[in-house]
Amino acid sequence: MGVVNIRRSRIDITLDILSIAANGAKKTEIVYGANLNSNITNKYLDMLKQKDLIKQQDNIFMTTDKGRYYQEIARGLELK
């Protein structure tokens, strides 16, 4: 049997990161929790910080109120 390669959407990855960072998380926790490599994680964290969906205090990332609102909206729009 072959290996099934299922790609996640950018929204799915974003939601994973925001969920992991909900109570505060180090970058390493996000890398492992979202199953991403360090370079990809950096790109997502930079984008999320620019959009004020996540904030960084020292080496801890936290989902902002705006990030929690984004999660609610995105989950409400899931098409299944």
Q: Inform me whether the pLDDT recorded for 22 exceeds 70.
A: yes
| Domains annotated on the chain, with CATH | 10-76 (1.10.10.10)
Candidates 30, 21, 31, 2; CA nearest to 68 is 21
- Per cent of the chain over pLDDT 90 is 78
Long-range contacts of 46-49 (CB under 8 A, 24+ apart): 48/14, 48/17, 48/18
Phi/psi at 28 (5° precision): -60, -40
Q: How many CB atoms lie within 10 A of CB 53?
A: 22
Per-residue pLDDT of 1-18, as tens digits, reads 555 557 878 989 999 999
